[in-house]
Amino acid sequence: MTDDDSGALRTTALHDAHLALGARMVPFGGFEMPVQYAGVLKEHEAVRKRAGLFDLSHMAQYALTGNDVGAWAETLTVNKVANMKPGQARYNIFTNERGGAHDDVIFYRLGDERWLLVVNAGNASKMWEHLNAERAGDVVLENLHGPRALIAIQGPRSVEWLSPYLEADIGAMKYYSCVETRVKGVADPVLVARTGYTGEDGFELFLPSDDAPGVWDLLLAENGPRGLEACGLGARDVLRLEAGMPLYGHELTEEITPLQAGIGWAIKFDKPAFRGKDALLAQREAGDYARIVGVVMDGRVPARAGYPVYARAQQAGEIRSGSFAPSLGKSIATALIEPADAAEGTAIEVEVRAARHPATVAPMPFYKRPQA
């Protein structure tokens, strides 16, 4: 995910629905998007305890077809693609020659020669140009950014509240799987994935933009009285930070590699070759790289992106993301920090408005959902 908001603003198919609900709209990823409706705390609480509904239609969707998609994509990304089976979803990162991240993405395999790639809104143009510039073999690209919408329902009651509208048994789906199924009120099959960005169970629905308002309104009308809340980007950012999930432009950039971001599990070094592999191997071997760590402030003073971090009386890094975490009752953050000061439990200081405030390097994720 990214927070790039440059350029002229676009709107999603649900823009009128957001205005009707009284959402506060802000620029995000090149779109005018809802940052909150009833308030970040109420929306956060809904997702953690019941369920929340998100418009993610600003995310770019690209259809990939052809015999060579899997093998071709593997040369550009750190994770494996070709061995995915139809019905699987997989997190991945497109890297540059230095090992930095062009974008973090999700691949969905729909069939033997059919794939869906979802990239961050702020990176949509960059990634579309990159994919076309690198395209080789039997690979056909189609840009669905606009014609297709994306609605997410996230929270412990997601299965219960979404199931009545779908033909597929979504309760039986595995995490990071997907299925094409019928949705009430939509003529064409809809892709439903058990994926999300909140740390909770949930689903994402990829559907035609013309059908999105009807599905959105139906879900809220019938489940709103039970506690389903429309949720904006403010709650989503707090939820993902609590869950230790990276935000492109903060924990991942063209300069910050997946190793630095703590996503080494996604790098499959046993692949024969991929863009940036040599640089990442060298970085792993040296081990002397600055890395993303969790930070818990001693008090409620919030740490914000760009604030300096000090250890042993000298600057050791900077904050990359920060927020008050309702699930913990504390202010939390991520920081890009030198390895000598990155160990869990290390006492550090964060400079906030010229004053230094005590904090501690902490493990991530900050929050894990209770096991059923």
Q: Which two tokens stand for residue 248?
A: 């492109």
Q: What is the CATH number of domain 59-145+257-286?
A: 3.30.70.1400
Q: Helices 233-242 and 40-49 sit at what angle, rounded to 10 degrees? A: 50
Could you say which of 3.30.1490.20, 2.40.30.110, 2.40.110.20, 3.40.350.10 is the CATH number of the domain covering 290-372?
2.40.30.110
The residue ranges of DSSP E strands in the chain, in sequence order, are 24-28, 31-36, 52-55, 60-65, 89-95, 101-109, 114-119, 140-143, 148-154, 178-181, 190-193, 202-208, 229-231, 291-297, 308-311, 314-325, 330-337, 347-352, 355-362
Q: Please report the pLDDT score of residue 115 as a whole number.
A: 98
The closest alpha carbon to 296, from 346, 252, 253, 255, belongs to: 346
Q: Which two tokens stand for residue 69?
A: 């998609």
The closest alpha carbon to 93, from 233, 253, 202, 238, belongs to: 253
CB 81 within 8 A of CB 94: no
How many other C-beta atoms lie within 10 A of the C-beta of residue 189? 14
What is the C-alpha to C-alpha distance for residues 213 and 221, in angstroms, rounded to an integer? Answer: 12
CB neighbour list of residue 251: distance below 8 Å, 6 or more residues apart: 261, 262, 292, 320, 321, 334
Domain boundaries, the chain: 15-57+146-242, 59-145+257-286, 290-372
Q: Please report the pLDDT score of residue 343 as a whole number.
A: 98
> Which overall architecture, per CATH, does domain 15-57+146-242 show?
2-Layer Sandwich (3.30)
What is the C-alpha to C-alpha distance for residues 246 and 199, in angstroms, rounded to an integer? Answer: 12
Q: Please report the pLDDT score of residue 5 as a whole number.
A: 44
Q: Please report the pLDDT score of residue 199 as a whole number.
A: 97
| Residue found by looking up tokens 């894990």 in the block | 368
Tens-digit pLDDT string for the chain (372 aa): 444 444 589 999 999 999 999 999 999 999 999 999 999 999 999 999 999 999 999 999 999 999 999 999 999 999 999 999 999 999 999 999 999 999 999 999 999 999 999 999 999 999 999 999 999 999 999 999 989 999 999 999 999 999 999 999 999 999 999 999 999 999 999 999 999 999 999 999 999 999 999 999 999 999 999 999 999 999 999 999 999 999 999 999 999 999 999 999 999 999 999 999 999 999 999 999 999 999 999 988 999 999 999 999 999 999 999 999 999 999 999 999 999 999 999 999 999 999 999 999 999 999 999 876
CB neighbour list of residue 84: distance below 8 Å, 6 or more residues apart: 70, 90, 107, 109
Quote the pTM value. Answer: 0.96
Burial code (b: 16+ CB inside 10 Å, e: under 16) for 76-115 equals bbbbbbeebeebbbbbbbbbbeebbbbbbbbbbbbeebeb
What is the C-alpha to C-alpha distance for residues 220 and 50, in angstroms, rounded to an integer? Answer: 13
Q: Please report the pLDDT score of residue 8 as a whole number.
A: 83
Q: Please report the pLDDT score of residue 371 as a whole number.
A: 78
